[in-house]
Amino acid sequence: MKGTFIIESEGKRESLGVGSFNFVPSKMVHQAWTKPNEGALLFITVDGAWDINWVNGPPKASDLIGKSPGI
């Protein structure tokens, strides 16, 4: 809907812009983020329960405020 959403899975990385579509099958390991200092507004829909399995445990507030992963 707005900005760029970056998703990586199975060694492949894609940048999704406005109007893009992406499908992630159930249980597929992936990670996603936005561009530094840009952010994004996106729409996510699921057809069943949504599981989140944090690699290093759930993020803390200090992990999320003003920080973004290197790209």
* Per-residue pLDDT tens over the stretch 12-65: 999 999 999 999 888 888 989 898 888 889 888 888 887 887 878 888 888 776
Residue 9 has pLDDT above 50, yes or no: yes
pTM of the predicted protein model: 0.64
For the chain, the residue count is: 71
Residues 4/38, Cβ–Cβ less than 8 Å: yes
- Token readout for 54 is 């944090």
**pLDDT confidence tier of residue 69, bands split at 50, 70 and 90:** low
Tokens 């597929």 sit on residue: 28
* Partners of 22 in beta bridges: none
* C-alpha span between 14 and 12 (Å, rounded): 7
- Token readout for 43 is 């729409």
The pair phi, psi for residue 7, each rounded to 5°, is -130, 140
Residue 10 has pLDDT above 90, yes or no: yes
Residue 71 has pLDDT above 50, yes or no: no
